[in-house]
Protein backbone atom coordinates (compact mmCIF):
# COMPACT_ATOMS: atom_id res chain seq x y z
CA UNK A 1 0.00 0.00 0.00
CA UNK A 2 1.33 3.41 -0.93
CA UNK A 3 1.90 6.18 1.57
CA UNK A 4 -0.99 8.07 -0.07
CA UNK A 5 -3.44 5.24 0.63
CA UNK A 6 -2.23 4.86 4.20
CA UNK A 7 -2.40 8.63 4.80
CA UNK A 8 -5.92 8.86 3.40
CA UNK A 9 -7.11 5.98 5.57
CA UNK A 10 -5.54 7.56 8.65
CA UNK A 11 -7.25 10.90 8.06
CA UNK A 12 -10.59 9.37 7.13
CA UNK A 13 -10.64 7.18 10.23
CA UNK A 14 -10.38 10.23 12.51
CA UNK A 15 -13.23 12.26 11.02
CA UNK A 16 -16.21 10.69 12.86
CA UNK A 17 -14.65 11.26 16.28
CA UNK A 18 -13.82 14.88 15.45
CA UNK A 19 -17.46 15.43 14.45
CA UNK A 20 -18.65 13.71 17.65
CA UNK A 21 -16.58 16.12 19.74
CA UNK A 22 -17.78 19.12 17.77
CA UNK A 23 -21.45 18.15 18.05
CA UNK A 24 -21.18 17.35 21.76
CA UNK A 25 -19.39 20.63 22.49
CA UNK A 26 -21.17 23.28 20.44
CA UNK A 27 -24.74 24.44 21.02
CA UNK A 28 -27.27 23.64 18.30
CA UNK A 29 -27.68 27.34 17.46
CA UNK A 30 -24.01 27.54 16.51
CA UNK A 31 -24.04 24.26 14.55
CA UNK A 32 -26.93 25.39 12.35
CA UNK A 33 -25.78 28.97 11.80
CA UNK A 34 -23.96 29.54 8.50
CA UNK A 35 -20.72 31.50 8.85
CA UNK A 36 -21.88 33.91 6.11
CA UNK A 37 -24.91 34.30 3.89
CA UNK A 38 -25.02 31.60 1.24
CA UNK A 39 -22.48 29.38 3.01
CA UNK A 40 -23.14 26.03 4.65
CA UNK A 41 -23.43 25.68 8.41
CA UNK A 42 -21.49 22.96 10.22
CA UNK A 43 -24.76 21.01 10.40
CA UNK A 44 -25.21 21.29 6.62
CA UNK A 45 -21.59 20.18 6.11
CA UNK A 46 -22.26 17.12 8.26
CA UNK A 47 -25.40 16.33 6.24
CA UNK A 48 -23.32 16.61 3.07
CA UNK A 49 -20.61 14.34 4.48
CA UNK A 50 -23.21 11.71 5.29
CA UNK A 51 -24.69 12.01 1.80
CA UNK A 52 -21.23 11.66 0.26
CA UNK A 53 -20.39 8.67 2.44
CA UNK A 54 -23.61 6.85 1.52
CA UNK A 55 -24.41 8.10 -1.99
CA UNK A 56 -21.10 9.03 -3.60
CA UNK A 57 -18.15 6.99 -2.39
CA UNK A 58 -19.66 3.48 -2.49
CA UNK A 59 -21.40 4.16 -5.82
CA UNK A 60 -18.21 5.44 -7.42
CA UNK A 61 -16.13 2.69 -5.85
CA UNK A 62 -18.38 0.02 -7.34
CA UNK A 63 -18.55 1.83 -10.70
CA UNK A 64 -14.76 1.84 -10.89
CA UNK A 65 -14.59 -1.84 -10.02
CA UNK A 66 -17.27 -2.76 -12.56
CA UNK A 67 -16.07 -0.42 -15.32
CA UNK A 68 -19.40 1.43 -15.30
CA UNK A 69 -20.23 5.09 -15.78
CA UNK A 70 -20.61 7.42 -12.82
CA UNK A 71 -23.94 8.82 -11.80
CA UNK A 72 -23.74 12.55 -11.12
CA UNK A 73 -24.35 13.84 -7.59
CA UNK A 74 -25.70 17.30 -6.78
CA UNK A 75 -24.40 18.37 -3.34
CA UNK A 76 -27.09 21.04 -3.07
CA UNK A 77 -29.96 18.59 -3.50
CA UNK A 78 -31.59 17.93 -0.12
CA UNK A 79 -31.95 14.33 0.96
CA UNK A 80 -35.09 13.94 3.02
CA UNK A 81 -33.75 11.14 5.17
CA UNK A 82 -31.15 13.44 6.76
CA UNK A 83 -33.25 16.59 7.22
CA UNK A 84 -35.05 15.41 10.36
CA UNK A 85 -31.98 13.96 12.09
CA UNK A 86 -30.41 15.63 15.10
CA UNK A 87 -26.68 16.43 14.98
CA UNK A 88 -26.02 13.43 17.25
CA UNK A 89 -27.99 11.14 14.94
CA UNK A 90 -26.17 12.52 11.90
CA UNK A 91 -22.80 11.84 13.52
CA UNK A 92 -23.82 8.28 14.43
CA UNK A 93 -25.05 7.62 10.87
CA UNK A 94 -21.93 9.22 9.42
CA UNK A 95 -19.68 7.07 11.66
CA UNK A 96 -21.44 3.90 10.46
CA UNK A 97 -21.19 4.96 6.82
CA UNK A 98 -17.53 5.95 7.15
CA UNK A 99 -16.74 2.58 8.75
CA UNK A 100 -18.30 0.86 5.72
CA UNK A 101 -16.37 3.14 3.35
CA UNK A 102 -13.10 2.30 5.06
CA UNK A 103 -13.80 -1.40 4.54
CA UNK A 104 -14.22 -0.70 0.82
CA UNK A 105 -11.19 1.58 0.80
CA UNK A 106 -9.02 -1.24 2.16
CA UNK A 107 -9.67 -3.11 -1.08
CA UNK A 108 -7.94 -0.41 -3.14
CA UNK A 109 -4.56 -1.40 -4.51
CA UNK A 110 -1.71 0.72 -5.79
CA UNK A 111 -2.64 -0.37 -9.34
CA UNK A 112 -6.14 1.07 -8.87
CA UNK A 113 -4.77 4.57 -8.30
CA UNK A 114 -3.84 5.06 -11.94
CA UNK A 115 -7.22 3.98 -13.30
CA UNK A 116 -9.36 6.67 -14.89
CA UNK A 117 -13.10 7.04 -15.35
CA UNK A 118 -15.25 9.62 -17.14
CA UNK A 119 -17.26 11.76 -14.75
CA UNK A 120 -20.51 13.29 -16.08
CA UNK A 121 -19.29 16.87 -15.47
CA UNK A 122 -15.51 16.53 -15.34
CA UNK A 123 -12.88 15.33 -17.74
CA UNK A 124 -11.63 11.80 -17.19
CA UNK A 125 -10.62 11.55 -13.55
CA UNK A 126 -8.27 9.34 -11.67
CA UNK A 127 -9.51 7.03 -8.94
CA UNK A 128 -8.10 9.30 -6.24
CA UNK A 129 -10.23 12.30 -7.25
CA UNK A 130 -13.48 10.44 -7.77
CA UNK A 131 -13.47 7.92 -4.97
CA UNK A 132 -11.81 9.46 -1.95
CA UNK A 133 -14.68 9.44 0.57
CA UNK A 134 -15.54 12.85 1.86
CA UNK A 135 -13.35 15.91 1.69
CA UNK A 136 -10.00 15.31 3.33
CA UNK A 137 -10.11 18.83 4.70
CA UNK A 138 -13.08 18.07 6.96
**Domains within the chain, CATH numbers bracketed:** 3-131 (1.20.120.450)
| Longest CA pairwise span in the chain (Å) | 46
In tens, the pLDDT along 38-94 reads: 999 999 999 989 988 988 888 888 887 777 777 777 767 766 677 789 999 999 999
pTM score over 0.75: yes
In which band, very low, low, confident or very high, does the pLDDT at 33 lie, cut at 50, 70 and 90? Answer: very high
Amino acid sequence: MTTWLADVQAVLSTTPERWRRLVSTLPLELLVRPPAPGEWSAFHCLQHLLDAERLVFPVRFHAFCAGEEFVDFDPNEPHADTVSLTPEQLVAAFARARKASLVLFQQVTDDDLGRTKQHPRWVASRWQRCCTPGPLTI
